[in-house]
Chains A and B, each alone.
Chain A
Amino acid sequence: MSQDYHRYEIKEPVGWLDKPNAVKRFFFAIYLICGALLAAEFLLFSAENAHPHPLEESMRFLVYPIYGFISFWFLVLVAKPMRKLLIRSEDYYEGGSGDAE
């Protein structure tokens, strides 16, 4: 019975990402959503805030989109030099040389 779990299917499956332009369409959908959310920013001028606070009142226009975008870049740009300092081989703690591939 256990053998069933080890058997991989022979027929090569086709995923939706294998279809031509699927990735492009996916990215286009993200761009579209981002555009719509930028437009939605104007709705917020008249929207009531259930939990008003001075910081959000003073940080109004496009703060969240800019913060979200920059956060990702900052995260990666800090993590990359961190890797140079911290990276070791997989067997580092088992007595390996410490040099990663």
Chain B
Amino acid sequence: MLSSLPPFVLFFVGAVVIAFTRGTARKVLILAIPLVGGLNLWFGVEPGLHLQFDLLGYTLMPYRADKLSLLFGYLFHLAAFLGFVYALHLGDGTPEGSVAGEVGEDDIVGNASAGLQHVAAMVYAGSALGAVFAGDFITLFIFWELLAISSVFLVWARNSERSYATGFRYLIIHVISGVLLLSGALMLAHKTGSIAFDHVGLAGTGAAGWILLLSFGIKAGFPLLHNWITEAYPESTPTGTVFLSAFTTKVAVYALARSFAGTDVLIYIGTAMTFFPIFYAVLENDLRRVLGYSMINQIGFMVAGIGIGTGMAVNGAVAHAFADVIFKGLLFMSIGAVMTMTGRTKGTDLGGIYKTMPFTAGLCIVGASAISAFPLFSAFVTKSMIMVAAIEEHHYIVWLFMLFASAGVLEHAGIKIPFFSFFAHDSGIRAKEPPRNMLIAMSIGAVLCVLIGVFPAQFYTLLPYEMDYHPYDLRHVVTQLQLLAFGALGFITLVKSGVYPDEKRAVHVDAEWFYRKAGPWLVGTIGRAVTRVDVYVRSSVLEFVGSIMHGAERTHGPVGPLAKSWPTGSMVLWVAILLVAYLLFYL
């Protein structure tokens, strides 16, 4: 029976139930829902169209499964399970990190706040599942908006003035993405008569294709549209960020893979995404913001792979999305654990805590190794498919940029994150290891990073397209190790020579400057100019009307000449004069 229901139903019903439960019952439920849903999907759901109905002349398909959607379905169940294991302690009186940097009583997560985060995360995960199993654009639109509405509560859960403002900006950006999605879908329906969520492309679809691409691009973090990621992730709670990093951007990657595979422009957009964030990642002080830039960099590889569009490239893109959710989740979890225990996430404030948090440090290093694509770790067997596909399709310059970006990944995620949080200078902080559930979630993530890296053939059977790819040959292993080892040597020489930039308590302006500074300034300036013109026009009109009134008053007022009443005697005199004049002229 469960297999006939769309996967999101279990999560939405579960969200309602956990809203009214407490304590152990709630803990059991938040773990059981993704576990049962995932097992049901794995064993009970076959590819096919499982639910469809007609509405207002359109055929809606809320539950369509194929290899692509099933892969993301497994992934989102896994991500939800890991996220809820990680967040299991919420409401137990554990601190959730603080705004000021010191853990205080205000940071203890109460039962209500924990419940809100759990419900929001459950609806969020369900919405992601609803989106990937949607067979039409209207269904996709509904879950697209639900993703935004549910996830913003994970930003607001931080309960600070800054998180409220960030959350509102996040919500506005995502609602705009949803509106664009609906507009593009309706234009496409008008043009083709179909709302099926299948390949769209840019050829022959006119503005509809571009609008849909823009909508997906906002959620995927295309260049200049990416700052919602680097703004919202550092402002959420430690547990909230783990959920945020798993769903929204990966739904966008899925949507691009389904509708825009083989669209050339994505190769160049993706390459730009791999390239520019690594410079920001060198400079940023907030380690969760560094991971936000790292997220954009990794999605860049996926977007480029989708743009290349061959079976191996798209396989590489979606496989890398799968691996990314796990290793990036692991990195966000380890920094979240540091934040939970120390209240700090900035490179300037941290360092030396490997002494008292050795397990967390070790698990962070596993995540760092996985994202850096060391052999035997997950990205080595996923990202390399995209790189090989780029070469096979003769995108040599793109390949060189991606190779540079791969070295950049080692710099910011492979070295900087573990180095500045756990090693570097001794900050004097002696925090304990995080709660056991956090360590368990991180350990599961770490094991999965290694399992995918060690047994790629089994993992490849889940991918949507047939291919013949073998990541472990001597050349690939040696050249990848050379790239990474000599990159590390570059880092050592940079640090020893004093060239490597110090961490600074500062922000670095990015495209968000346009809507956080330039936009308000422009609106303010235009507003003031309009006000000045308005005041001038009003006063001029009033002055003009006043002068007319004044003139009228002069002639027609109580003392004006035209307002005088003439006596009867004068009238008779004038009539007599006129009569005399008449007689004189005519007689």
A binds B: yes
* Alpha-carbon gap, A82 to B67, bound state (A): 44
- Within 8 Å of chain A (Cβ to Cβ): is B223? no
Per the 8 Å Cβ criterion, residues 433-475 of B in contact with A are 469-470, 473-475
| Given A87-B508, A88-B507, A93-B517, also A75-B355 (CB < 8 A) | no
- Per a CB cutoff under 8 Å, which of A1, A18, A70, A86 touches B508? A86
Interface set, chain A 49-98, CB cutoff 8 A to B? 49-51, 53, 55-56, 63-80, 82-83, 86-90, 92-94
Q: Within the assembled complex, what's the spacing in Å between the Cα atoms of A74 and B275? A: 12
**Quick one: which of B429, B469, B492 contacts A30, CB cutoff 8 A?**
B492
CB within 8 Å of B: which of A24-64?
27, 30-31, 33-34, 37-38, 40-41, 43-44, 47-51, 53, 55-56, 63-64
In chain B, residues 75-104, which have Cβ atoms closer than 8 Å to a Cβ of chain A?
A: 92-95, 103
Q: Distance (Å) between the CB of A55 and the closest chain B CB?
A: 5
* Residue contact A55 to B505, C-beta cutoff 8 Å: no
Partner of A76, one of B474, B501, B504, B510: B501
* A67–B473 CA distance with the chains assembled, in angstroms: 20
Q: Are A88 and B499 in contact (CB under 8 A)?
A: no
Residue ID in chain A nearest B430 by CB atoms: A8
Say if the beta carbon of B28 comes within 8 Å of chain A. no
- CB contacts (< 8 Å) of A13 on chain B: these are 355-356, 430
Q: A13-B356, A51-B388, A92-B509 are in contact. Are A69 and B279 (CB under 8 A)?
A: no
A residues less than 8 Å from B491 (CB atoms): 72
Task: Flag whether B282 is at the interface (Cβ < 8 A).
Answer: yes
Minimum CB–CB distance from A61 to chain B (whole Å) comes to 11
Nearest A residue (CB) for B395: A55
Name the B residues within 8 Å of A63 (CB-CB).
479
Segment at the interface with A among B214-222, B480-488, B552-560: B480-488
Closest Cβ neighbor of B499 among chain A residues: A76
CA distance A56 to B509 in the complex (A): 38
Q: Is the CB of B354 within 8 A of A15?
A: yes
Are B501's CB and A64's CB within 8 A? Answer: no
Task: Tell me if B42 is interfacial: C-beta within 8 Å of chain A.
Answer: no
In the complex, which residues of chain A have a beta carbon less than 8 angstroms from the beta carbon of B407?
A: 67-68, 71-72, 75
Q: Which of B312-362 contact A (CB under 8 A)?
A: 340-341, 352, 354-356
CA distance A20 to B115 in the complex (A): 49
Interface residues in B238-258 by Cβ distance below 8 A to A read none
Judging by beta carbons under 8 Å apart, are A90 and B403 in contact?
no
Q: Would B391 and A53 count as touching, CB distance under 8 A?
A: yes
- Judge if B476 is at the interface, Cβ distance under 8 Å: yes
Whether A100 touches B485, Cβ cut-off 8 Å, given contacts A6-B103, A48-B473, A55-B391, is: no
Contact flag A68-B352 (CB < 8 Å), given A8-B430, A76-B501, A88-B508 = no
Minimal beta-carbon separation of B373 from chain A (angstroms): 12
Residues of B close to A1: CB separation below 8 A: 92-93
Q: Is A51 within 8 A of B469, CB to CB?
A: yes
- Closest chain B residue, CB of each to CB of A48: B473
State the CA gap A29–B65 with chains docked (Å): 50
B490 CB within 8 Å of chain A: yes
What are the interface flags for B387-409 relative to A under an 8 Å C-beta threshold, 1 for contact and 0 otherwise? Answer: 01001100010010001100110
Interface centre among B482, B501, B508 (most CB of A within 10 A): B482
CA gap between A13 and B501 in the complex, in Å:
29
Instruction: Give Cα A75 to B391, complex, Å.
Output: 23
Do the beta carbons of B483 and A47 come within 8 Å of each other? Answer: no
**C-alpha spacing A88/B510, complex, angstroms:** 11
Question: Which of A15, A44, A76 sits near B475, CB closer than 8 Å?
Answer: A44
Complexed CA–CA distance, A87 and B279 (Å): 13
Q: Inside 8 A of B489's CB, which chain A residues have their CB?
A: 30-31, 34, 68-69
Q: Is B210 an interface residue (CB 8 A)?
A: no
Contacting residues, chain B, for A56 (C-beta < 8 A):
391, 475
Interface-central residue, A2, A33, A70, A72, by most chain B CB under 10 Å: A72
Contacts of A48 in B (CB 8 A): 473-475
B103 A5 Cβ-Cβ under 8 A? yes
**A-contact 0/1 string along B160-173, CB 8 Å cutoff:** 00100000000000
- Contact flags A1-26 to B (C-beta < 8 A → 1, else 0): 11001111100111101100000000
Among A5, A6, A38, A79, chain B packs the most CB atoms within 10 A around the CB of A5
CB of B61 within 8 A of chain A?
no
**Are B108 and A89 in contact (CB-based, < 8 A)?**
no
B478 within 8 A of A: yes
Contact A68 B501 (CB under 8 A): no
Would A2 and B506 count as touching, CB distance under 8 A? no
List chain A residues, Cβ under 8 A from B105.
2
Q: How far is the CB of A29 from chain B (nearest CB, A)?
A: 10
Q: Residues 179-209 of chain B: 1 if any A CB is under 8 Å from the residue's CB, otherwise 0?
A: 0000000000000000000000000000000
B485 contacts A27, C-beta separation under 8 Å: no
Q: Report how far A89 CA is from B507 CA in the complex, Å.
A: 6
**Shortest distance between the CB of B8 and any CB in chain A (Å):** 35
Report the minimum CB–CB distance from B377 to chain A (whole Å).
16
Minimum C-beta distance from B383 to chain A (A): 14
B145 at the interface (CB under 8 A from A): no
Closest to B494 in A: A76
Residues of the B chain whose Cβ atoms lie less than 8 Å from the Cβ of A12: 430
Contact across chains for B429 and A72 when beta carbons are under 8 A apart: no
Chain A proximity of B144: nearest CB distance (Å): 28
In angstroms, how far is the closest chain B Cβ from the Cβ of A76? 5
Contacts of A71 in B (CB 8 A): 403-404, 407-408, 487, 490
Could you list some 22 contacts between A and B, CB below 8 A? A1-B93, A2-B94, A5-B95, A5-B341, A6-B95, A8-B430, A13-B356, A15-B354, A18-B355, A44-B475, A48-B474, A51-B470, A65-B485, A67-B407, A71-B407, A73-B490, A75-B279, A89-B506, A89-B507, A100-B504, A101-B505, A101-B506
Q: Considering the complex of A and B, which 4 residue pairs feature the smallest CB-CB distances, nearest first?
A: A72-B490, A71-B407, A2-B93, A100-B506
Instruction: Kindly list 8 other residue pairs between chains A and B, CB separation below 8 angstroms, not including A53-B392, A76-B282, A83-B504.
Output: A56-B391, A63-B479, A68-B407, A75-B411, A79-B279, A80-B499, A82-B283, A86-B509
